[in-house]
Structure 1
Amino acid sequence: MLEFRDVHKTYTTPQGPLSVLSGVDLQLRAGESLALMGESGSGKSTLLHLAAGLDLPDRGEVCIGKQSLASLDEPGRARVRRETLGLVFQQFHLVASLNVADNLRLQARLAGREDPAWSARLLQRLGLAGRESHYPEQLSGGQQQRLAIGRALAPRPALLLADEPTGNLDETTAETVLELLLELVAESGSSLLMVTHSLKVAAPLDRRLILRRGQLLAESAESHLPCA
């Protein structure tokens, strides 16, 4: 579903070049969940941005399915994000002017895959049934994050990218939201790549990798085939 092949990324800083990723190889299979761990500044968010096509590597290749993101122009990468990816962030990024129902349906409508029955099921599973006319400011932090997760999963994306999705929640709420996230990912059939600094959050996922000094640890050596 997602593959990084010898990916390098360096940024220019006032102090000189800063190498963030150095020869990263990664494979995420369809239906698999993977936790990406590492210290602050280790490059986790950079890797996630590359997976989403929000940035491109200096060297190497990032593929979603059989499609190399570097072979696409920005409108093409935006189309991949719209039609193939779901994104969940630590900040909820809900649309303040839209109510719960419209926030939930937003991504599915953009992808052209709105499914009223699935949306209704999501609202029920998210504990938001009966709050369809409420606005984000009328929801608790946990409710807002559940809504953000539902919005990302409404189009049943092939790949869900989550960046510290429980980082802004208290421990009890975070556990509830994480459990719900994993259940809904399984129901939707999506693959999941989650960035987290918490071993407790990472533990329920299928695999865990550590990013350290720009390289992944605990990734098994595998042969790689061309994208095409």
Structure 2
Amino acid sequence: MLEFRQVAKAYATPQGPLEVLAGVDLELAPGESLALMGESGSGKSTLLHLAAGLDLPDRGEVRLAGCAISSLAEPARARLRRETLGLVFQQFHLVASLSVRDNLRLQARLAGRERPDWTAELIARLGLGGLERRYPEQLSGGQQQRLAIGRALAPRPALLLADEPTGNLDETSAGEVLELMLALVREAGCSLLMVTHSPRVAAPLSRCLRLSRGQLAPHRPAERQPCA
């Protein structure tokens, strides 16, 4: 579903190039869930942006659903994102002028895969029943996060990319939202790559890797559970 082959990425700084990723190799199988951990500034979000084709590597290759992202022009990358990915970030990026229902339907419509039965199920499972006509500003933070997750899953994407999806929530709300997201990911049948700084959030996923000094830490079975 997702493959990184010797991917490198650096950014210009006044002190010279800052290498964020240095020859990263990564494979994510269909239906697999993977937590990516690391300290702030370690490159986790950069890796996620490369996986989504929102940025391009300096060297190496990123393949999404068998397609080499860096060989595609931006319109083709946008189409691949629309057809393959669901994206969830800390900032919810909900459309303020659209109701809860229309925000939820937006991504599925863009992908040409709107299913009223799945939309109705998402509204119920997300605890948004009776709120369909409200606008994002009328929702709590937890409700907005659930709506953002539902919007990403509405087209039943092949891969969900989530960047600290519970980072803005209190511990109780974060646990509830994470449990709901993982259940919906399983029901949608998609893979999951989630960036998190929290071992507790990472623990329920099937695999956990740590990004440090531009490289993924070697995976050893003894370190898989719990993620730390």
TM-score above 0.5: yes
**Structure 1 residue 218: Cα displacement:** 3.0
TM-score (structure 2 length as normaliser): 0.95
Q: Which residue in 2 is equivalent to 1:75?
A: 75
3-state DSSP class of the match of 1:57?
coil
Distance 1:148 1:219 in 2: 31
Distance 1:163 1:218 in 2: 22
TM-score (structure 1 length as normaliser): 0.95
Q: Which residue in 1 is equivalent to 2:32?
A: 32
Q: Which residue in 2 is equivalent to 1:130?
A: 130
Query: What root-mean-square deviation, in Å, do the aligned CA atoms of Structure 1 and Structure 2 show?
Result: 0.7
In structure 2, what residue type is equivalent to 1:135?
Y
User: Where in structure 1 are there 5+ consecutive unaligned residues?
Assistant: 221-228
Asked if the contact 1:26–1:219 (Cα under 8 Å) also holds between the matched residues in 2, the reply is no
Distance 1:127 1:198 in 2: 25
Distance 1:105 1:206 in 2: 29
In structure 2, what residue type is equivalent to 1:48?
L
Q: Which residue in 1 is equivalent to 2:120?
A: 120
3-state DSSP class of the match of 2:208?
strand
Q: Which residue in 1 is equivalent to 2:57?
A: 57
Distance 1:76 1:219 in 2: 34
Distance 1:113 1:38 in 2: 35
In structure 2, what residue type is equivalent to 1:94?
L
Distance 1:190 1:70 in 2: 23
Deviations 1:116-172 (A, max 9, x none): 000000000000011110111111100000000000000000000000000000000
Distance 1:4 1:107 in 2: 26
Q: Which residue in 1 is equivalent to 2:188?
A: 188
In structure 2, what residue type is equivalent to 1:205?
L
3-state DSSP class of the match of 1:127?
coil
Q: How many residues align?
A: 220
Q: Which residue in 2 is equivalent to 1:106?
A: 106
Q: Which residue in 2 is equivalent to 1:91?
A: 91
Percent of residue pairs identical: 77
Q: Which residue in 2 is equivalent to 1:224?
A: none
In structure 2, what residue type is equivalent to 1:83?
E
Q: Which residue in 2 is equivalent to 1:218?
A: 218
Distance 2:171 2:35 in 1: 18
In structure 2, what residue type is equivalent to 1:85?
L
**Structure 1 residue 66: Cα displacement:** 1.1
**Structure 1 residue 71: Cα displacement:** 1.2
Task: Determine if the alignment matches structure 1 residue 164 to structure 2 residue 142.
Answer: no
Distance 2:9 2:219 in 1: 19
3-state DSSP class of the match of 1:39?
coil
